[in-house]
Chains A and B, each alone.
Chain A
Amino acid sequence: MNGGFHIVVCGSIVPDPLQTLAPIEGPTGPALKNELMLPAVLDPWAGHALYEAANLAKNVPDSKVWLVSLGPKAKLQQLMMSIAQKVSFELVVLDGPAGGFTDPCEVAAALAGGINGIAGLDRSRLLLFGGCSSASRDAGVTMQMVAEQLGIGDQFLGVDELTIQADGSMKLLERIEGGQYQVSTCTGAPAMLAWATGNLPEPPNNPQIGMMNMRTVMPALQKAQPAPVGAAGVSYLGVELPKQRRETRIVKDLSVDEVAREIVEWLKG
């Protein structure tokens, strides 16, 4: 491989998890009550992927990051006021629904189409990043489908760590059952990595980065291509929120060890 990686991150918005989410029957099928008006955040899993991508690009010279987002462009624009301050990337916008009542296959096709349209993207250097899951009614299959449509055979799911080794190969840790990792080695790009949480904290906002990103973000939003994805042929029998169990206590005078011990005891049942 010549030069660094071309990292394409697939990620979009989900309603802020603190918001009240109430399923309703909309004119075109199930929807969330007031979804368009609720504040949105970057899907947390996609966020991990984006921060890992930016970190990798920083450490491997001549690398570049694109963020491909499928969602309502007005909502994406709001999100960019925060996300675009955190890491450097070039935005590709597909203007369509971001709700979870869409078929992953249609979503994957739209994302693959968007990626295929990126000018200057070198497929031989391509690392396709995304979340292994989503906070928006997760099917957990979208990234694999995008990879298949792009002809990427090396796929890694639930990735928590990527190390570029001295010979240029990639060492990856994937989550498997029992809190363990599967360690894999891949000779290099192209590959698809569907990230779990990774190891990086959310970068703080930096308006200087934001101002740099805005030079490309706003034009990208203006030339967003419509992507009317849905769930053709699917009929929903019912939609309901998962049962919640929230037992919140506010504790201010316990040490970290004591809190941890209590949680372990609770987990043991």
Chain B
Amino acid sequence: MDSSSSENRGTELMSTLPGDDVRQIMWRFAERYEVQMVVQSARSLARGVVARLVAEGARNTHEWNDKKGQLLKGFDELGLTSVFMDPEEGGFIAGPKNLVLALMAFELSWVDGGAATCSLASNLALSPIHEKGTPEQRLTYMSRCVPPLPGEDRKIWRGAFALTEPLPYVGVDTGILSGRMRVAEWEEGQEPLLQVEKRGRFITNMGFANFVTAAVDSDDPRIKGSAMVILEEDDPGVFDRGATTLKLVHQLSSTSDPILSLKVPASRIIGGYTIKDGVIIPNCNHGDVIESVFRRTRVPVAVMSSAKLLSAIEPVIRYQRTRFRGGSASSAGSPRYDLGLQQKEDALQRLVDVWAAGEAGAALGFAAARLFDEFDPIEREKDKLLIERGITGSRAQMKMFKEVEKSALEFVALEHQPAAERDMARYQELAADTLVQYLVKESQANVLCPACKLWNTGHGATMMREAVSLMGGYGITEDCPGFLTQKWTDAQLEATYEGPEAVQRRQLSITMTNELFLAQFRLWIKDLYAIATQRPGTGANALANAMELWLWTLEFLQKSKDAEGKALYHSQRHGVVFPFADALCWLLASRQQILDLLELEEKGPENPVVASGLAGFVNFFSDLCHVQAARSAGEAGRICAELVYGYQRDLAAINADDTEFAALRHKADVSMAGARLFKDRAAAAVSKVMIPEALDYPI
């Protein structure tokens, strides 16, 4: 960066809200035109049909009705239904679709989270088939769910995913199933027929689903273990859609508690089955299927909450600026008239906090989505390889991967070496090794997925409340521009469904201690220090120091005991591992936000539209990064301090550690120097940024 551009960056404020060109660079889809088109389609539906439904009060009923059915028609007509499918199944996007689905959810959720859920739920029903189904199952059901092409006369199928069951088990543990399957008929040489019993609860899309992918356990010695089974509405038996769930949120998605008692051929077991010694053995148990499904589908949910925060910015600015217009207290041209509440520091700075949280969440969510786009083909290749090598069973796989982990650690170390210094032949060998790449990506995915689901939705809900409060009393009215209260309350469901917060924390408490992940985490710290040197003003230094503090605390917790002699770091000790997982999420979101900024700074000049306002955007996003990094460092520091000191009665017990921790904590704290000044500058930009005359969707 030369001094003139540096100086320019020092003064220029962001002049307009960031548009598509800016987001395409930050979220890495500037070269993907098919994805950009889906974004435009989803946006036109969200700000048209969806916004009208919300404005006209369609959320005021729990039941699914024809009016809400316009959503499905819209998804079909605008191509959104087909996004999930591959071209050979009738879709139009080849390859992994995690990013495009996340972007679609982002656009829909910008207006209404329920509409986004409605869109995602069909894909959720198809996901078990997509991830683990046999080729025949994939082709059959994916093709049926594609809208008919011109000239075709067939109904479009829609699905529901049925895992959760009636109380007391609802959502408690995906390993406990009441749903059952047993052999109903099995004639010699014929395919067995299964009797499937499943009672679901909180099942999305049930109001109109033609098929259900249901998790059930064996109730018959002739069937081994659990499975997911496809149930169709015309199968013999009972396909009762059940009572409508009385949700207070997400009313644009259909949810009910179905009762299913159906006879189906065994070929409906997702992933197929083998018969051994007269016993049906499903090729995939329900746990394998849902693990594979959820780690992908949770990411769009995370992105939904962040979309809401970012969607709140424009209406809040407009409200703040126009707050005093129209009365006798201010006349046109006066600061009170022009700036309204934005004359006040607090109104601006709280909005900066909302904005920064939205940016960090979106950055983390989209990073996770892109990671899964890279991971998907590697995982499929890995599955193929294991079959070829005859490695089956989780124990055999664990044993093999233990060996591969060494190579994966070597690869990570090589990758972070300067190209001129690394052993290129070995590096290329490891880069081409599917199993090595699988382990590296998996170690990241196993952390980023629960992290974004947990932090984006949980902290997002808190910040959404802040956004509502910035609108004063208007915020809690039905006609508040931007539907902020609806978005706030919806966020609570996003924090809950597809695995509530405790599930995410539980997963993180295990995956964040994976040595391969930690090896990468250590290198990320090095990278951030380098960024802090080359590109000061992003908060990278504060963040790197906080990450070091977190890492030190992990080692301390793993080796230490509390005042009563009990081990501190234990997967069942939620008081330790859960808040510690929370601390990590803050750090990861902040890191990704800084990486998005650097991407914009690097690629922005290549786009003439972005280039014209790049300095202002880079300044503003740098300031937001700094604000968020300081907040993240503060949160992580507070949590680490509580965990290090909170379980000791006598500080002497950790005397040497205390000195070390205090030094690291101090280093993290002082690296927040200037953070509030950056917040002031971000606030100044918010007070001057040009916004449209009106919101582009109805209220």
- A19-B692, A20-B692, A81-B33 known; A204 and B78 CB under 8 Å? yes
Q: Looking at the assembled complex, report how far the CB atom of B311 sits from the nearest CB atom of chain A, in whole angstroms.
A: 15
Chain A, interface residues (CB within 8 Å), range? 20 to 34
The total of Cβ contacts below 8 Å across the A-B interface reads: 94
> Interface code A195-233, partner B: CB below 8 Å = 1, 0 otherwise?
000000000111110110010001000000000000000
Contact between A208 and B20, CB atoms less than 8 A apart: no
How far apart sit A208 and B608, CA to CA, in the bound complex (Å)? 28
How far apart sit A39 and B37, CA to CA, in the bound complex (Å)? 16
User: A16 at interface (Cβ–Cβ under 8 A)?
Assistant: yes
Contact between A211 and B694, CB atoms less than 8 A apart: no
User: B513 at interface (Cβ–Cβ under 8 A)?
Assistant: no
Contact between A207 and B34, CB atoms less than 8 A apart: yes
Contact between A72 and B608, CB atoms less than 8 A apart: yes
For B613, the chain A residues whose CB sits under 8 A away are 34, 36-37
For B78, the chain A residues whose CB sits under 8 A away are 204-207
For B36, the chain A residues whose CB sits under 8 A away are 81
How far apart sit A210 and B83, CA to CA, in the bound complex (Å)? 13
For B469, the chain A residues whose CB sits under 8 A away are none
Contact between A37 and B19, CB atoms less than 8 A apart: yes
User: B385 at interface (Cβ–Cβ under 8 A)?
Assistant: no
Closest A residue to B695 by CB, please name it. Answer: A18
How far apart sit A78 and B23, CA to CA, in the bound complex (Å)? 12
User: A149 at interface (Cβ–Cβ under 8 A)?
Assistant: no
Within 8 A of A (CB), among B67-110: 77-79, 82-83, 92
Contact between B693 and A206, CB atoms less than 8 A apart: no
Q: Looking at the assembled complex, report how far the CB atom of B482 sits from the nearest CB atom of chain A, in whole angstroms.
A: 14
For A6, the chain B residues whose CB sits under 8 A away are none
For A205, the chain B residues whose CB sits under 8 A away are 37, 40-41, 44, 78-79
User: B660 at interface (Cβ–Cβ under 8 A)?
Assistant: no
User: B696 at interface (Cβ–Cβ under 8 A)?
Assistant: yes
Contact between B691 and A207, CB atoms less than 8 A apart: no
User: A74 at interface (Cβ–Cβ under 8 A)?
Assistant: yes
User: B492 at interface (Cβ–Cβ under 8 A)?
Assistant: no
Q: Looking at the assembled complex, report how far the CB atom of A22 sits from the nearest CB atom of chain B, in whole angstroms.
A: 8
Closest B residue to A202 by CB, please name it. Answer: B44
Closest B residue to A82 by CB, please name it. Answer: B40
User: B240 at interface (Cβ–Cβ under 8 A)?
Assistant: no
For A39, the chain B residues whose CB sits under 8 A away are 19-20
User: B38 at interface (Cβ–Cβ under 8 A)?
Assistant: yes
Contact between A18 and B40, CB atoms less than 8 A apart: no
Within 8 A of B (CB), among A28-60: 33-34, 36-39
For A20, the chain B residues whose CB sits under 8 A away are 690-693
Contact between B37 and A75, CB atoms less than 8 A apart: no
How far apart sit A38 and B40, CA to CA, in the bound complex (Å)? 16
- A18-B692, A37-B15, A78-B20 known; A208 and B33 CB under 8 Å? no
How far apart sit A39 and B692, CA to CA, in the bound complex (Å)? 10
User: B699 at interface (Cβ–Cβ under 8 A)?
Assistant: yes
How far apart sit A227 and B690, CA to CA, in the bound complex (Å)? 30
Contact between B21 and A78, CB atoms less than 8 A apart: yes
For B79, the chain A residues whose CB sits under 8 A away are 85, 205-208
User: B156 at interface (Cβ–Cβ under 8 A)?
Assistant: no
For B612, the chain A residues whose CB sits under 8 A away are 36-37
How far apart sit A81 and B21, CA to CA, in the bound complex (Å)? 12
Which residues of B come within 8 Å of A, CB atoms?
15-16, 19-21, 33-34, 36-41, 44, 55-56, 77-79, 82-83, 92, 479, 607-609, 612-613, 690-694, 696, 699
Q: Given contact pairs A16-B696, A75-B609, A85-B37, enumerate 11 new A-B contacts (beta carbons under 8 Å).
A: A18-B692, A37-B16, A72-B609, A74-B609, A81-B36, A85-B40, A85-B79, A206-B79, A207-B37, A207-B41, A214-B34
Which residues of A come within 8 Å of B, CB atoms?
16, 18-20, 22, 33-34, 36-39, 72, 74-75, 78, 81-82, 84-85, 204-208, 210-211, 214, 218, 250, 252
Report, nearest first, the 5 A-B pairs whose CB atoms are least far apart.
A207-B79, A205-B41, A82-B40, A81-B36, A18-B692
